[in-house]
Amino acid sequence: MMAALRPADLAGWLPIMARSSPAGYRLDWAFFDRHALQEPFFHNSTDSVLQLPFNQLFRRDTALDVLAAWAEQPADTAPAAFVFHASRCGSTLIARMLSRLASHTVLSEPAPLDTLLRAHYTDPVATRWQRDSLRGLLACYGQRRRGGERSLVVKLDAWNIFELPLLRAAFPDTPWIFLYRDPLEIVVSQLRQPGVHVVPGMLGASPLTLPFDEVSGLTRAEFVAQVIGQILAEGERQCRAHGGIAVNYSELPGAVTGRLAGLFDLHADDLALAAAGAGQHAKRPEQGFSPDGDDKRREAGPEVLAAVAQYAQPAYQALEALRAPVIPSTVSV
């Protein structure tokens, strides 16, 4: 029997995939070494390290319980903040701004985190190990691999707002934001280029997945609008219940270096570099970031307007009521 792997044995390795097997959950690991995770999403970073032939042959496959040892020791960098969001509302922009900093590691929607957060929907006994595994997983992701890191910022998948209480149980003191946007703009964007959660049947087990007979009569626009409406409503509920900070897309990018700078553990001399990151389009770095709300509103026809008004506007209004009045800020670079 091989001795259990200690965190020191896994220095530089990160979980890239969690999967259930007949003998319990397992993790696949790749060697990231000093890789900075600056790609738009964690899976892009993974694609990048998997280019190295070493990672095509010497990946590791371990039981989930190797995370227990990570959970027991103090993390190199504990999570500074969690970013929840309603999709298409600037969370990738935030990631881009923070990941430029040598002091910050930004995890953008790593699939193993989503898998662990939703494990109990298909495997009820998962609640026994989820809390510790989540602590272990983020301690592992928070390894100081480059040398200068002090903060880990974790951006979740849009649908994970439903699992917020579980993440809070593991990290009760970590502040978090819920980022949202005028739902008309989100819905138009999702209709243009659908994400996993707005394609019926793609997401898998989640409170966001409604019974088939509840959604089978909906038009495409209505379906998308009700998904976004659910996420916004849950965001508002969780903000009230668990002290989340509601942030509107309209506040970006200024809020990152403004009212959220402390939450993101930004020091005074980090601000200019982070702000400069906003000069690039988050998912298409060759393009600059520019607010595109007006285009999206013009694109919406009467059917989309009606669907959004019915399914998503009320939750949006509730979030706006919750949000602290803020003076729109601009970036000065």
Partner 1 sequence: MAEVFTRPPCARLPLAVDTAPMLAALARIPDAAWQPHFNTEYFSGDWSGVALIAPADAQGGLTPGQGEPVPTALYQAEPAWSAALAPLDAVVRSARLLRLGPGACIREHCDYDLGSPDSDLRLHLPLLSHPDVEFLLDGLVVPMLAGECWFLDLSRPHRVHNPGTQVRIHLVVDCRPSPALQAMIAAGAPATPALQPSRGSLALQAFQQQVVADATLRASLLAHSERDTFIDTVLALGRQHQHLFSRDDVLAAMRQQRQRWQQRYMVQSA
Instruction: Report CA torsion sign: 197, 199, 203, 207.
Output: positive
- Cβ pair 209, 118 in contact under 8 A: no
Q: Tell me 79's DSSP state.
A: E
Q: Give the whole-angstrom CA distance, residue 259 versus residue 251.
A: 10
State the binding string over 168-207 for partner 1 (x if CB under 8 A, else -).
------------------------------------x---
Considering only residues 112 through 151, tell me which ones interact with partner 1, judged by CB under 8 A. Answer: 115
261 binds partner 1 per the rule CB under 8 A: no
Q: Are 149 and 76 in contact (CB under 8 A)?
A: yes
Candidates 1, 57, 324, 327; binder of partner 1 (CB under 8 A) is 57
Instruction: Write the single-letter amino acid at 205.
Output: A
Report the residue from 31, 32, 42, 223 that binds partner 1 according to the rule CB under 8 A: 31
Dihedral angle computed from the Cα positions of residues 148, 271, 254 and 180, in that order, rounded to the nearest 10 degrees:
10
273 binds partner 1 (CB under 8 A): no
User: What is the spatial distance between Cα 199 and Cα 180, in angstroms, rounded to a whole number?
Assistant: 20
Q: Using the rule CB under 8 A, which residue among 36, 60, 120, 280 binds partner 1?
A: 60
Which among 249, 330, 307 is positioned nearest to 85, based on CA atoms? 249
Closer residue to partner 1 in complex, CB, 31/180: 31
Asked if 16 interacts with partner 1 (CB under 8 A), we say yes
AA identity, residue 145:
R
Residue 63 interacting with partner 1 (CB under 8 A)? no
- Binding segment for partner 1 among 16-24, 139-147, 175-183, 221-229 (CB under 8 A)? 16-24
Q: Check binding of 281 to partner 1 (CB under 8 A).
A: no
Shortest Cβ 294–partner 1 spacing (Å) = 35
**Shorter beta-carbon distance to partner 1: residue 115 or 151:** 115
Count of residues that interact with partner 1, criterion CB under 8 A: 23
Helix, strand, coil % over all residues of the chain, rounded to 5? 50, 15, 40
Residue 36 binds partner 1, judged by CB under 8 A: no
Tell me if 9 contacts partner 1 by CB under 8 A: yes
The single residue among 38, 45, 46, 87 that binds partner 1, judged by CB under 8 A, is: 46
Q: E strands, the chain, where?
A: 13-21, 24-31, 60-63, 79-85, 104-108, 151-155, 176-180, 245-248
Q: Least distance (Å) from partner 1 to the CB of residue 194?
A: 15
Provide the binding-site residues for partner 1, judged by CB under 8 A: 2, 9, 16-17, 19-20, 28, 31, 33, 46, 50-54, 56-60, 111, 115, 204
